Amino acid sequence: MIIEPFRTDDIPPFIALAATENWVAEPWEYEFLLAAFPAGCFTARGKSGEAAGFVTSLRHGRSGWIGNLIVAECSRGRGIGEALFRKAMAALAAAGVATIWLTASKSGTPLYEKHGFTSVDTIIRWVGRGRQRHHVHSHTAGEIGLTGSSYEIDRAAWGDRRGSLLEMTAERGRLIQSDSGFIARQPCGEAVQFGPFAALDARVAEGLFREATAAVPTGTKVLLDAPASNRAAQRLYRRSGMMDAGSNLLMYAGKKPEYRPDLLYALATMGSCG
């Protein structure tokens, strides 16, 4: 088994492998990761060149994320996952990252704890439906652009500037924002994903959420990942009829982050980039 850089032609086999685990995964995300931080994305290959596992990572300013660590079932139990994980950790360290984030399933938690990761929150997957009854106009990021306040609110939530991730996720969807918060609606297969989504208070968050939901056709599935420690977010989603569809741990290693979950209502991607 050898570990090589993740390539563009690895995206289809990764998507196929992710589907076996019921992961929400679309090609745009991996194209973005390969463009933003190719040094931190890897593929494990067998002797015949077949892909046996993958991992991706992304650097922001002084923080980074590890995501998409997956190994084909037939290749598990051979240390491939840990080898891929070590490569991603080393790439982020070489890039000067002080804090590394990831979301962990129950089965993956022992590996991450072994490498110094600590749980800081739980990320809940919420599932609901759109409620569009009339046309609602919202702007694309290309029309108005993310405002400076949106960047600053996100920085306050995560303790780091994540401009490239915010711009990519907002650009591919529809953006609603005010001086006190912002929410992006992204296409996600036949569903719609909300996120990134951050706000200075619960009143602003509810207004943004209602406007975003009202612009999604009735019956269309809505997905989002939100921190459990944001009680206002939990109350909002339950009142809106969304269902808790499972959870993962939010973990970090390295320098303790200036994390403000009270500002954070949904992640920018479904677990792999934060």
Which pair of tokens denotes residue 245?
Answer: 């569809």
What's the predicted TM-score (pTM) here? Answer: 0.92
Phi and psi at 88, nearest 5°, equal -65, -40
- How high is the pLDDT of residue 136? 46
Q: Which residue has the tokens 């046996």?
A: 52
User: What is the share, in percent, of the chain residues with pLDDT greater than 70?
Assistant: 96
Q: 134 pLDDT band (50/70/90 cuts)?
A: low
**pLDDT average, residue stretch 133-161:** 74
Average pLDDT, integer, range 244-268: 97
145 pLDDT exceeds 80?
no
Q: Is the pLDDT of residue 142 over 70?
A: no
Q: Mean of the pLDDT values across residues 206-224?
A: 94
The C-alpha atoms of residue 43 and residue 164 are separated, in whole angstroms, by: 24
Q: Report the percentage of the chain scoring pLDDT > 90.
A: 76
Q: What's the first-to-final CA gap in the chain, in angstroms?
A: 30
Q: Which of 33, 91, 113, 44 is nearest to 67 (CA)?
A: 33
Mean pLDDT, all residues of the chain: 92
pLDDT of residue 30: 92
Domains of the chain: 2-97 (3.40.630.30), 124-266 (3.40.630.90)
SS3 assignment, position 223: strand
Among candidate residues 151, 199, 194, the one with its CA nearest the CA of residue 173: 194
